[in-house]
């Protein structure tokens, strides 16, 4: 029978480390580290005690993928069952988790902007600063608003504990193997960490300049959310001080910027005709107008204090955090207003968050029951808006004040039966002042009608519950069953900017309660680990869009939704030096009121992945990865033979990547990677299904990365 989880939990609590630091301590073996998770309950627990689907991406897997593609979207699509395929761009719109939006976090601090979801949260940190990634699937309220699909938590690297200063420098170049011209880029990353008595420090920095990105035919990819000529910078530091063995303080700061600075212009194609949008060099008057698109210096500051022995068997964690986000979008002619001499516009999502969290963890050991009680209070202020660069206000300031209390319990009965139950009570006040919607013209005769909207403060009160059970009957069969709820007021900004009534109280801004049901099992044999899960989630209010032919605007439709699917994972150790990790996931969903399928903004086509790693000796390793994206053809074309919105048909495609590394000296390592090894000529799933202009951009052709790393 199992009795690994409570031992790991006790060890993690007793070690003199930060709550998210113990996973990297030498006290835990690599195998134990793989089986510990912190995101789901906000304290350490073993995966064996979690009645839900979890994906852990470790540092080695992150570094392997970094050799072929530095984009976190690509890494997550390859490694996480249930996450939609990579979009091949800086935007993760359409890259849902089990058909709903995930909450992106860095060390538990939200990076998403749920009040006006611009779908740029996944690209908020450089992979070189990440120690591991934890993905908790299914609606959850443990971290509050925006987690209707689950949680993607980037756990940053930690300073070593042995007192010795260590560091590394990596230099690489990425370029098109189809047509080299102008495609070569450069990437430099560095890190240093160490400990001096009670003080620990970690500093990482990365700087990357892309060349142009080319498709399988050698043409430059279209520029909408494009990565050609993008300049990305990330500077991260984490400082810690141990007052004693039981009390510690940690400060972290993160700066991230990634903007496309290019002199190219788009040649528009039509996806309904199979035509791609691609970029060429054009005169300045035809180049992309406005500011460079992308995150413009987003910042995070976090202060964490931990007392491992506040009371007998009670640990306390206090978090204070601040965040300043400014995400710049591309210039769009759809934001025109000829009456006021605007031939288009460019929007910015601005979000300022200030938050505080107090989390307590009390352990109680009865005769045959080990119980833990996790409880606390969260407070958050989130001020988000979406102005245009030219000064017009598209989405007014939304001032959200949130206070929540929560209790999460776990009962380990006779070592093998785990029962979890929890409740979260959240109170949200959302204040919006009086505003006027924008007049926007798709053509001179196709314009929205602006109206004056009376502002107000809207109160949301939601109580959500979760309960789960897992029975570690045997390593060969460990079943689980869970029910969880999430409260979501995501993308209120989209509702406000498309208002058709003159009072905010009449806009359908109600919170959506998501009910998530999941059943599955884990099995472990001698050389094989298997995970299988099936799920269903329902919500009385979804967020989809319908095209208004009169105004040319996509307007929100709040309607009940049902989403269902299944996932499977096989981890097979073929031999001591050959390992295979394979996954398959399927998701589908409907608007149950109209009995119609949901579009690809939420539902992705079937996906299969495989990663085969061969390590013949300690100095060398090779990894071959495979991505299969299947068909999804749920929608009929209009009378003119064209699809609308996000209802385009998706044809299947196959992508192979190859990476390798060789340790040619004690401190020196060379590495290389090839993306799209066989130069597949394809449109990514989003490009096929989105009929919106500018998204019909092909995927990368064969692209190579070569580099060297020095450790000291």
Domains of the chain: 5-711 (2.40.170.20)
pLDDT for res 40: 72
DSSP per-residue letters across 233-262 = EEEEEEEEEESSSSEEEEEEEEEEEEEE--
Does position 3 have pLDDT exceeding 50, yes or no?
no
525-556 residue pLDDT tens: 999 999 999 999 999 887 555 656 565 555 56
pLDDT for res 6: 36
Cα separation, 38 vs 21, whole angstroms: 10
In the chain, % of residues over pLDDT 70: 93
Does position 162 have pLDDT exceeding 80, yes or no?
no
Does position 259 have pLDDT exceeding 60, yes or no?
yes
pLDDT for res 41: 76
Cross-sheet strand order for the sheet of 150-156: 54-57, 130-137, 150-156, 102-106, 109-110
pLDDT for res 23: 38
Mean pLDDT of all residues in 163-177: 94
- Greater model confidence, 122 or 566: 566
pLDDT for res 14: 36
DSSP per-residue letters across 553-611 = EEEEE---EEEEEEEEEEEEEEETTEEEEEEEEEEEEEETTTTEE--TTT-PPPEEEEE
pTM, entire model: 0.91
pLDDT for res 22: 38
What tokens were used for 603?
Answer: 């539902």
Mean pLDDT of all residues in 453-472: 93
Q: Please list the helix, strand and coil fractions of the chain in percent, rounded to the nearest 5, in that order.
A: 10, 50, 40
- Greater model confidence, 34 or 610: 610
pLDDT for res 553: 52
Q: How sure is the predictor about 152, in pLDDT bands with cuts at 50, 70 and 90?
A: very high
Mean pLDDT of all residues in 588-594: 94
Task: Report yes or no: 545 and 601 within 8 Å, Cβ to Cβ.
Answer: yes
90: left (phi over 0), alpha (psi -120 to 50) or beta: alpha
Cα separation, 37 vs 28, whole angstroms: 13
Mean pLDDT in the chain? 90
What tokens were used for 455?
Answer: 């502002």
Does position 293 have pLDDT exceeding 70, yes or no?
yes
Cα separation, 708 vs 173, whole angstroms: 10
pLDDT for res 82: 95
Residues in the chain: 712
Task: Report yes or no: 35 and 19 within 8 Å, Cβ to Cβ.
Answer: no
Residues 6+ apart with CB under 8 A from 391: none
Q: How sure is the predictor about 585, in pLDDT bands with cuts at 50, 70 and 90?
A: very high
Does position 346 have pLDDT exceeding 70, yes or no?
yes
Mean pLDDT of all residues in 466-492: 91
Cα separation, 521 vs 104, whole angstroms: 26
Q: Which residue has the tokens 């970094």?
A: 66
pLDDT for res 668: 97
- Our CA dihedral for 238, 243, 249, 250, rounded to 10 degrees, sits at 10
Q: Which long-range contacts (CB under 8 A, 24 or more apart) does 110-114 make?
A: 110/143, 110/144, 110/146, 110/323, 110/353, 111/300, 111/323, 111/325, 112/146, 113/325, 113/327, 113/349, 113/351, 113/384, 114/145, 114/146, 114/488, 114/489, 114/490, 114/491
pLDDT for res 559: 85
Cα separation, 627 vs 679, whole angstroms: 13
pLDDT for res 590: 96
pLDDT for res 33: 59
pLDDT for res 26: 38
594: left (phi over 0), alpha (psi -120 to 50) or beta: alpha
Cα separation, 644 vs 689, whole angstroms: 9
Calculate helix-pair angle for 72-79, 59-66, nearest 10 degrees.
Answer: 120
Cα separation, 428 vs 381, whole angstroms: 10
Q: How sure is the predictor about 657, in pLDDT bands with cuts at 50, 70 and 90?
A: very high
Residues 6+ apart with CB under 8 A from 69: 75, 657, 673, 675, 705
What tokens were used for 169?
Answer: 């420098």
72-115 residue pLDDT tens: 999 999 999 999 999 988 888 889 999 998 989 999 888 888 89
pLDDT for res 159: 85
């Amino acid at each position: 029978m199992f009795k690994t989880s409570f031992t790991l939990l006790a060890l993690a609590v007793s070690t003199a480390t930060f709550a998210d630091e113990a996973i990297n301590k030498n006290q835990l073996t690599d195998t134990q580290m793989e089986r510990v998770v912190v995101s789901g309950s906000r304290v350490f627990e073993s995966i064996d005690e979690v009645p839900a689907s979890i994906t852990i991406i470790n540092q080695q897997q992150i570094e392997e993928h970094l050799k072929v593609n530095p984009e976190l979207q690509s890494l997550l699509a390859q490694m996480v069952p249930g996450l939609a395929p990579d979009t091949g761009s800086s935007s993760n719109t359409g890259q849902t988790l089990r058909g709903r939006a995930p909450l992106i976090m860095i060390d538990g601090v939200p990076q998403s902007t749920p009040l006006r979801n611009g779908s740029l949260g996944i690209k908020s940190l450089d992979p070189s600063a990440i120690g591991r990634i934890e993905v908790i699937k299914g609606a959850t309220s443990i971290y509050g608003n925006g987690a209707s699909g689950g949680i993607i938590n980037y756990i940053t690297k930690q300073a070593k504990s042995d007192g010795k200063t260590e560091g590394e420098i990596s230099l690489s170049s990425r370029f098109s193997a189809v047509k080299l011209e102008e495609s070569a880029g450069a990437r430099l990353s560095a890190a240093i960490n160490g400990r001096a008595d009670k003080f620990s420090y970690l500093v990482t920095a990365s700087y990357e300049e892309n060349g142009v990105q080319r498709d399988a035919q050698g043409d430059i990819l279209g520029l909408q959310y494009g990565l050609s000529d993008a300049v990305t910078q990330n500077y991260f530091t984490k400082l810690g001080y141990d007052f004693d063995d039981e009390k510690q303080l940690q400060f972290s700061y993160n700066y991230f910027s990634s903007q496309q600075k290019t002199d190219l212009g788009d040649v528009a194609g039509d996806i309904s005709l199979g035509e791609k949008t691609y970029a060429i060099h054009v005169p300045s008057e035809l180049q992309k107008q406005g500011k460079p698109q992308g995150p413009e210096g987003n910042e995070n500051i976090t202060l964490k204090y931990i007392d491992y022995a506040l009371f007998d068997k009670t640990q306390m964690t206090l978090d204070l955090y601040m965040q300043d986000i400014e995400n710049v979008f591309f210039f769009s002619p759809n934001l025109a207003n000829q009456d006021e001499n605007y031939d288009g516009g460019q929007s910015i999502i601005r979000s300022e968050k200030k938050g505080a969290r107090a989390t307590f963890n009390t352990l109680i050991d009865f005769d045959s029951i080990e119980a833990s009680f996790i409880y606390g209070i969260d407070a958050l202020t989130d001020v988000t808006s979406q102005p245009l660069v030219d000064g017009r206000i598209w989405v007014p300031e939304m001032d959200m004040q949130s206070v929540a209390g929560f209790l999460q319990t776990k009962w380990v009965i006779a070592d093998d039966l785990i029962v979890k139950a929890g409740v979260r009570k959240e109170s949200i006040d959302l204040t919006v002042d009086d505003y006027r919607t924008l007049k926007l013209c798709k053509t001179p005769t196709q314009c929205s009608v602006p109206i004056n909207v009376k502002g107000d403060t809207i109160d949301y009160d939601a109580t959500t519950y979760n309960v789960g059970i897992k029975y570690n009957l045997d390593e060969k069969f460990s079943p689980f069953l869970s029910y969880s709820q999430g409260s979501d007021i995501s993308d209120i900004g989209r509702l406000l900017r498309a208002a058709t009534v003159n009072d905010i109280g009449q806009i359908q801004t109600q919170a959506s309660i998501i009910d998530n049901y999941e059943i599955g099992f884990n099995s472990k044999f001698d050389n094989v680990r298997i995970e299988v899960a099936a799920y269903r989630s329902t919500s009385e209010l979804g967020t989809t869009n319908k095209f208004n032919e009169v105004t040319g605007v996509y307007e929100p439709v709040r309607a009940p939704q049902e989403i269902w699917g299944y996932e499977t994972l096989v981890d097979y150790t073929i031999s001591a030096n050959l390992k295979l990790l394979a996954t398959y996931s399927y998701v589908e969903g409907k608007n149950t009121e109209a009995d119609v399928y949901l579009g690809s903004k939420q539902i992705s086509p079937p996906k299969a992945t495989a990663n085969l790693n061969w390590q013949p000796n300690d100095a060398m390793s090779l990894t071959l990865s495979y991505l299969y994206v299947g068909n999804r053809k749920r929608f009929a074309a209009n009378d003119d033979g064209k699809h609308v919105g996000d209802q385009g048909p998706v044809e299947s495609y196959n992508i192979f990547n190859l990476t390798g590394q060789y340790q040619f000296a004690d401190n020196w390592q060379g590495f290389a990677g090839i993306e799209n090894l066989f130069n597949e000529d394809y449109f990514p799933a989003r490009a096929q299904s989105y009929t919106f202009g500018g998204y019909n951009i092909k995927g990368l052709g064969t692209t190579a990365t070569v580099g060297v790393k020095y450790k000291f």
